[in-house]
Chain A
Amino acid sequence: MAVETATSVVHPSGVTPGLPGVASDFASDKQAFVVPWGKAMMWIFLLSDTFIFSCFLTSYMHVRISSTVPWPNPSEVFALTVFGNHIPLILIAIMTFILISSSGTMAMAVNMGYRRRRGKTAALMLITAGFGATFVGMQAFEWTKLIVDEGVRPWSNPMGAEQFGASFFMITGFHGLHVSAGVIYLVIVALKVWRGDYDRKGNYEIVEIAGLYWHFVDLVWVFIFAFFYLW
């Protein structure tokens, strides 16, 4: 490790003054958490993302509490008629199960990564990405159905409170964006696993870091499912 720093000017008190001091203070190689830095950074990113989604859900709570017009019943709004049977919320239930499945395959991919099974890790990650893409596809179907067939807009809808559309598009749209980004992220990491990059480095941490992101996307869906669709 290179111990000598770029700055040679040292203050009598032993610390570097001025801007080089800022750089040396921030770069003083102190480690707070006994995990790879990438993992700590991913956790901190996810923490900030937690606040973003919580703000969305809290604003949704606020507009729903304060609306004097009845809130549309999500159980009915998201019902589908399948083979003549009217099933409430079925599309959302299937999407939930798909995301849970993808979380399971991702957990297995992380496990296989630590066992240095290159092929299985890449395959499981690609399956996870496939589930994710399916989820986004079903969401696109859901949005199309709501916008085209039922006339839901961010500012109005025929079923009740106007804020329903704004909350719905904002929350599920932002979540869908996260899933889409996650699919791209997973495919990139899977291809690098397949190519053997991490075998050469002897380090599969990146698979677990990608897994953290993916599980977080599933975690957010748990809250959206409970508060937006079931409540």
Chain B
Amino acid sequence: MSASEGQQHPIAIYLWIWLLLFVLSAFSYGVDYFHLQGALRWSLILLFMFLKAGFIVAIFMHMNWERLALKLAILVPPLCLLILIGLMAVEGDYTFLTRSESFTKPAPIAAPAHGESSTAH
């Protein structure tokens, strides 16, 4: 089917994807409702999220039937966000460690006898 003539597809495919999105949303909510924790929680959240996002973009936004040039022009640039996310995660960890060192621990040098912890900074 030529993309320039418009995106005409059987209604059934939309209904199936619609149903699938409902089910996936229910699963996502289930992750929270049943108090799943740890790595299982995060991997399930990400799995359902990427499935939902993928079906919305591919079917509802018709990306699946567009030409490769448009697909690449739209879908490749966001990949550079991974670099930003990676950098900010490292930076956030560093900030956390610095704050933990400077602000939350009782200052190790301040002797309890003097009680001059305000000058320890």
Size category of the A interface is 35 or more
Interface of B is mostly: helix
* In the complex, chain B residues whose CB is within 8 Å of the CB of A36: 4
Residues of B near A215 (CB, < 8 A) are: 56-57, 60-61
Whether the pair A33, B67 counts as a contact (CB closer than 8 A) is yes
Complex CA–CA separation, A138 to B116 (angstroms): 52
Tell me if B56 and A66 are in contact (CB < 8 A): no
Chain A residue at minimum C-beta to C-beta distance from B44: A230
A65: chain B residues within 8 A (beta carbon)? 89, 92-93, 95-96
Across-interface contacts of B84 in A (CB, < 8 A) = 54-55, 58
Q: Number of B residues contacting the other chain (C-beta, 8 Å)?
A: 56
Are B14 and A54 interface neighbours, CB within 8 A? no
Do residues B7 and A114 form an inter-chain contact, with CB atoms below 8 A?
yes
Which A residues, 8 to 58, have Cβ-Cβ distances below 8 Å to chain B? 32-36, 40, 43-44, 46-47, 50-51, 54-55, 58
Known: A75-B32, A111-B11, A204-B6. A68 touches B49 (CB 8 A): no
User: Is B66 within 8 A of A62, CB to CB?
Assistant: no
Q: Which of B17-55 contact A (CB under 8 A)?
A: 17-18, 21-22, 25, 28-29, 31-33, 41-42, 45-46, 48-49, 52-53
A66 touching B49, Cβ below 8 Å: no
B100 contacts the other chain (CB 8 A):
yes
- 14 additional contacts (CB under 8 A) given A36-B4, A68-B99, A107-B17: A33-B67, A35-B4, A35-B67, A35-B70, A47-B78, A58-B85, A61-B92, A62-B89, A88-B33, A108-B14, A216-B61, A218-B60, A226-B45, A231-B42
Residues of A within 8 A of B (CB): 32-36, 40, 43-44, 46-47, 50-51, 54-55, 58-59, 61-68, 75, 88-89, 93, 96-97, 100, 103-104, 106-108, 110-111, 114-115, 204-205, 208, 211-212, 215-216, 218-219, 222-223, 225-226, 229-231
For the complex of A and B, the 9 pairs showing the least CB-CB separation, nearest first, are: A65-B92, A66-B95, A104-B18, A226-B49, A66-B92, A62-B92, A93-B29, A62-B88, A107-B14
